[in-house]
Structure formats: structure tokens, C-alpha cells
């Protein structure tokens, strides 16, 4: 194929999909998955698909409307993701691309990569120069209620997960200690245990709590303080007994550059929906490689399974299933690993389910 297919249409639909396991955090709860489904139609007869997650249903209509409004900027242009990302960077330079705009544009980028893969009848991971190999995942929990949640944690271990993340930050350090001890008793010492405070603490409170959690051999502590406070993260990183993980709230690679320069973290976790989609992820992976920084994914199992195999410092894929209820053939978890599907990103909507959960 010498000429890339051209975009003939852009469709966005909102759904509020159920979650098998609602996610409670110290900063709020996620009871459902508010998703915007993106379809990029082409003159080659293939449709590129991706989705973004709005965290709250009130974000769905603004994102859907924004994507519909930029359709005229897309129609007639090729499905070249890098060039379209450059177009939008220029188009929205004065306004900025943070927030819902950045999320929508990142989702569009993922849909363009899906269309490109389908047009070449190959998986995106292969377009990026990699092989469709299994990627190690960790099971991602919200705040757990022990001992009531012991059974689901045991099930995670039986499914082959070698790492599990839980969220903390409620009440005081006594509850953190009790929770970590109870979880360790269930999963054992051979399974990595990560904790996530979801930006709920101060520097002083973080360091106080971490000193009391040393016995649990934590693999990382994630976003203990507000994500934008790089100085606070750097202060914690310098004194923490555990590696500091952050990145899910970085807006495009410029935020990642600032975080690395500030010494804000040991590990990086960009979010495909905020870092600029797959095009932005490639730039982020280069920064992580230069900094020798382990890099994990945040959400978006389907696309993350394609980009991690070509990430030089790939660490973990976060397994938090948002979209399987609206997909015909969701990703399969085999012995704690996810293998990318194709062609493209391997996603086809279950239209009956989409209609059922349409907002």
C-alpha cells in the first residue's frame, strides 16, 4: 500500500458500562465505566476503533461533542497518526490540549493506529516493530475491605497474577498497616504488592505512613500527594523506603519531561489517554529509556498490550477491565499475562451491548 487510506468520517458514542469490580479510592469512587467510543471511518472500508474513559458521566457529552465538532478537520486527510497529531497540536496550541481535549485527541490517535493496522492487516505492535508477545500484568484493586475481599484476592493469585495493587489513604496509618498485613497473608510474599494513595496525603503524612509499612516489602507507592506537585513528589522520592510511581496524570510528554527533571519519581506510568495516545507513548518510552526508568501502563488493557512490547523499559501492564462489556472479543488473561490482538488493536464493538449502555 503506497497511499494511506483517507478519513471519511468520525463517529463518537457515549456509554456508561458496568464494572465487575467497582473501584473505591481515597479521592473518590468509580462505580461504572463512562466511556466514549471512537470510530474513524476510511475510504479503504476499514474502521479504526478506540475508547477513552471520562471518570464521571458528566464528561461524556462534552467529549463526544468535541470529537463530532473536529470531524471536518479530519475528513479527507490520511490516517497517518503522527501527522494528524501534529495537525492538532498546531490547531489547539493557543487553547492548550489538557483536560477533555487532550483525552479526546489521544483517543483519536489510538483509533488512527487501529485503522492503520487494519489497513495493513497487521497488529499495531507489529507496525511498531515488535512481536505480539505476552505482557506481564498486575491486578488493580481499589480500596479493599478485609477480610471480605480475601476471596477475590485469592482468585487473582490463582489466575496467575504475580503482582497486585491496592489503594490506601483512608483513616490513619493503623488501617493501612492492618490492610497490608491482611492482604499479604492472602497473597503471600512471592506476589509483588503495590499501594496507591491517589493524591490524598501530604509529604509528612506520606513519609510517616511509609515508615510503618516497611515490613510489607512494597513494590512501589503511587501518587501519594497531588500529581502536579513535583517538588512534593521529589521530596518523598528522596526519603521513601519504596520506589515512587507516578505519571497517570501527565499531560503529553512535556509533563513527563518536567517530572523526570524534578526527580519526582523512580517509575513512570503514563496514561495512553493523557500522554497523546500511541504516538505520544512512543515519545514517552524514549524519555523513560534515556532516564533508565521502568515504565508501566495505566488502564486501556487493549492498546497497552501493543505498546509495552516495544517499550525499552517496560515494567507492568495495569489490568483494570473497563471495556470488555462492549467488546465482541475482549483481551484474555493467561497466567497473569495479556497478549495483544490484531489486526490493528483487535477491538470490535459488541453493538447489542453498546445499545444497552448508550448514554
Q: Which residues are 14's β-sheet partners?
A: 36
Catalytic residue among 167, 233, 274, 306: 167
* Residue whose entry in the numeric block shows the C-alpha cell 512534593: 232
Residue 296 is classified by DSSP as -
Active site residue 165: no
Beta strands in the chain (DSSP E): 7-25, 28-42, 47-53, 135-140, 163-167, 192-196, 220-222, 244-246, 267-268, 317-319, 333-334, 337-338
User: Which strand (E) or helix (H) includes residue 291?
Assistant: none
3-class secondary-structure state, position 222: strand
Residue 330 is classified by DSSP as P
Contact by Cβ (8 Å): 359, 326: no
Active site residue 167: yes
CA angle 273-86-60, nearest 5°? 35
Please count the helices (runs of H) and the strands (runs of E) in the chain.
14, 12
Catalytic residue among 165, 233, 283, 298: 298
Please give the positions annotated as active site.
167, 298
Amino acid at each position: 500500500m503506497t497511499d494511506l487510506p483517507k478519513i471519511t468520517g468520525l463517529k463518537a458514542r457515549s456509554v456508561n458500562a458496568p464494572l465487575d469490580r467497582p473501584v473505591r479510592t481515597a479521592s473518590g469512587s468509580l462505580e461504572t465505566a463512562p466511556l466514549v467510543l471512537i470510530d474513524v471511518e476510511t475510504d479503504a472500508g476499514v474502521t479504526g476503533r478506540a475508547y477513552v474513559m471520562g471518570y464521571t458521566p458528566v464528561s461524556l457529552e462534552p467529549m463526544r461533542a468535541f470529537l463530532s465538532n473536529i470531524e471536518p478537520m479530519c475528513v479527507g486527510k490520511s490516517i497517518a497518526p503522527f501527522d494528524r497529531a501534529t495537525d492538532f497540536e498546531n490547531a489547539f496550541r493557543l487553547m492548550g490540549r489538557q483536560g477533555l481535549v487532550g483525552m479526546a485527541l489521544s483517543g483519536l490517535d489510538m483509533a488512527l493506529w487501529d485503522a492503520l493496522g487494519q489497513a495493513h492487516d497487521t497488529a499495531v505492535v507489529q507496525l511498531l516493530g515488535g512481536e505480539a508477545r505476552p505482557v506481564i500484568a498486575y491486578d488493580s484493586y481499589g480500596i479493599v475491605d478485609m477480610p471480605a475481599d480475601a476471596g477475590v484476592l485469592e482468585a487473582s493469585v490463582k489466575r496467575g497474577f504475580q503482582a497486585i495493587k491496592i489503594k490506601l489513604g483512608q483513616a490513619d496509618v493503623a488501617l493501612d498497616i492492618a490492610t497490608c498485613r491482611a492482604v499479604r497473608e492472602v497473597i503471600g510474599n512471592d506476589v509483588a504488592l503495590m499501594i496507591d494513595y491517589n493524591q490524598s496525603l501530604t509529604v509528612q503524612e506520606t513519609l510517616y505512613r511509609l515508615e510503618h509499612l516497611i515490613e510489607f516489602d512494597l513494590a512501589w507507592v503511587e501518587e501519594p500527594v497531588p500529581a502536579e506537585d513535583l517538588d512534593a513528589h521529589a521530596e518523598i522520592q528522596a526519603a521513601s523506603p519504596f520506589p515512587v510511581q507516578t505519571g497517570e496524570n501527565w499531560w503529553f510528554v512535556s509533563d513527563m519531561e518536567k517530572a523526570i527533571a524534578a526527580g519526582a519519581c523512580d517509575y513512570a506510568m503514563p496514561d495512553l489517554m493523557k500522554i497523546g495516545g500511541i504516538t505520544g507513548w512512543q515519545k514517552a518510552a524514549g524519555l523513560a529509556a534515556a532516564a533508565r526508568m521502568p515504565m508501566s501502563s495505566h488502564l486501556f488493557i487493549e492498546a497497552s498490550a501493543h505498546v509495552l512490547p516495544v517499550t525499552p523499559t517496560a515494567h507492568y501492564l495495569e489490568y483494570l477491565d473497563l471495556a470488555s462489556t462492549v467488546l465482541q472479543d475482549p483481551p484474555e488473561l493467561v497466567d497473569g499475562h495479556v497478549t495483544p490482538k490484531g489486526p490493528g488493536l483487535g477491538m470490535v464493538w459488541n453493538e447489542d451491548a453498546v445499545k444497552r449502555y448508550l448514554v
